[in-house]
Structure 1
Amino acid sequence: METIQFIEKIRKFNRYYANVLGKIDQQIYHQPFPLTEARVITEINNKNGCTATEARENLGIDRGYMSRMIQKFEDEGIIYKKQSEEDKRQYLLYLTDHGKEIYQDLVNNSRREVGNMIKALSNRDLSKLTSSMEQIESIFSIENPSPSTVSIRSFQPGDVGFVAHLHGRLYDETYKFGPMFEYYVMKGLTEFMMNTDGGQLWVAEVNGEIVGSIAITKYNEKTAQLRWFVLDEEYQGMGLGKRLMETAIHFCKEQGYQHVFLWTVSILNKARHLYQKYHFTLTEEKPNQEWTEAEIMEERWDLDLSSYY
C-alpha cells in the first residue's frame, strides 16, 4: 500500500474518533470548566507540583491563555502556588481541597459518559476495542517516547548509601579507582550524617532512579566545601550537572558563605570544565597514590562568592 493510502486511512479514522470524543466532551465538559480548563486541572492533579510552563508545554496551550487560566484558578481557590526548593524563581502548582473535589467530579462525569457510550457493547467487542487502543498507544509511545522525569531534591533516608555506591561503581568502572577511594567517600558521608549543620546533600533523579549527587559541607563560618559531586555518564548531556552545581551555589549564598572550595582530580576533564564555567579557579595541587595504581594529581578549586552575582 502506498504511503498516501495509509495517510488517508489514518485521517478517516481520526475524523471518526474526533466525532466520538466530541460527543463525550459535550456531555462532560460544560461551564464553568470547558475542555481546556478540565485538562489543566487534570494535569496539575496528576503531576502534583508542576510549573505553569510545564503544564502549558505538555498540553500545547497558548502562553497568555494559560496565564489567565492559572490566575482564575487561583482566584477561585482551585489551586495554590508553592515556591520550588530547587529553584526559588519557580512556583509549583497544586490543587486545593476544593480543586481536588472539582477534579473528582470531572473524573466521575467522564466515567459515567464513557460507561453510557459502551454499555451496548459485548465483552468481546470491549476487549477488542481496548486492545486496539492499547496497540495504538504502544506504537506511538515507541515513536514518540515520553520525556524523562528529572528532579533535584534534598537527600532522604536511604539515599546516602546510593551516593556511596554510585561513586564506588563509576570511579572503578571508568577510572579504575580502588577500594580505598570508596572507603574515603563512605567515611566522609558518615561524618556528614553525624553533623549536617550548615550543609546539605542533594541527589539527581531520572524517572525515580538516583543518577547523581552534590553536597555542601560547612568548613567554617565563612567558607563551605563542595563535595560528592558525581553524575552517571549515561545521563550526561541532560543539564543535570549544571542544575546540581547551581543548586549547591545558591545554597551557599542563602547560608551566607563568602567562599566555597572543592577537591577533585586532574583526570576528571568534564567536571573541571564545569568548575571553570562557574568561575572556580585552580589554587592547589598535590599527588595522590592511594586510589589508583598510577599516581594522580589532586586539585583544589576555589570560588569567591562575594563577587559571584
Structure 2
Amino acid sequence: MPIDPSIVEQIRCASRTMVRELGFMRTTLAGTDYSPSAVHALLELGSRGALTAAQLVQILGLEKSSVSRMVAKLIQAGEVAESAGDDDARTKQLSLTEQGTRSVEAIHAYGQMQVTTALTPLNTQQQLTIAQGLDAYAKALTAYRSGAQEQVGSVIHVRSGYRPGLIGRVVEMHASFYARHSGFGQFFESQVATGIAEFAGRLGNPRNEVWVAEHGHRIVGSVVIDGEDLGSNEAHLRWFILDEQCRGNGVGRRLLDEAMAFCNEQGFSAVQLWTFKGLDAARRLYESFGFELTHEEPGNQWGAAVLEQQFTLKL
C-alpha cells in the first residue's frame, strides 16, 4: 500500500524528538550509569528471566561482540550472574542478581515517571491514541526486522464454516481489540458473545456464512454474513475482526473478498454494516469495496458513547 511521504516524515521527526527527549543521545539512560543497550539488556532479563548471550543478540539486534562486552561489564558491576545451562554446561545462562532486580525496578520507576509526566496534560483519548500508535509502530518495526509480516501472511488460510473454538475466539479478539482501542468492557464482550452464539445456531441457513483466517490451527480473523436478520434481501456484515499479528498483510481484504463473493452469489440487493467513527483503517478497507457512509448518529449500544455509523454497499 502506498505511503504518503508526509506521514513518513512526520513519523521520522517524531522519532528523532523521542530519541532526544527520552535520553538515548546520552551515554547513560534512565537515571543509571549504564548505556542504553545495557539498560535494555537488564529489562529483557527482568521480563524474560534467564537468557543466553546469543538470545540477547537476537532480542536487542546488536553484534555478538558488543553484547559480550556489555554483559561482561554488567557481571563485573554485580547486576548479572552467569551460570551453566540446564541442558548444556557449556552454554552460559544470564540472570539478574538481587542488585540487578533492584536496578530494574528503579529503571521501571524512572520510565513510568517520564511517561506519566508527558501524558498528564493530555485527555484520555489522546493518551489512548499515543499508546495504540506506538504499539502498532513498534510491532511494524519488529516485523520488518524479522520478516514476520511476509512469513505470517503467507501461511494464513481463509476458510468458511464453523469450527470448534470459533465462538470463543471471535469474542476474545473483539474484547481484546476494543478494550484497547475504545475502552469497551464487560457489556460489549457479553453482547458479542450473545450475538455470535445465536448466529452460530443459524449457520444451517444457506444464506448465512462465516469465514475465518487461520494461522496453523489458531483463528486470527473472522467475518460473518448474516443473510436473514435484516430482511428485504439485504445482507448484514458482522464480526469482522483481525488479530494483531495478521494486520497489514492483506488478510482482512481476503476475508472481505470471500464475503462479498458470497453476497453476489446469493443475489443480495445490498450489504449493510454498522460500526463507529474512529476505526479509520477498517473504514478505508470498506470503502475500497464500494461501501458508502449512509447514516451516523451518537449512540451507546456498545456500552460507551460513540458516533455510530452505517455503511451500505448496493449490489
- What TM-score does the superposition give when structure 1 sets the normalisation length? 0.49
- What TM-score does the superposition give when structure 2 sets the normalisation length? 0.48
Choose 1 or 2 for highest CA Rg: 1
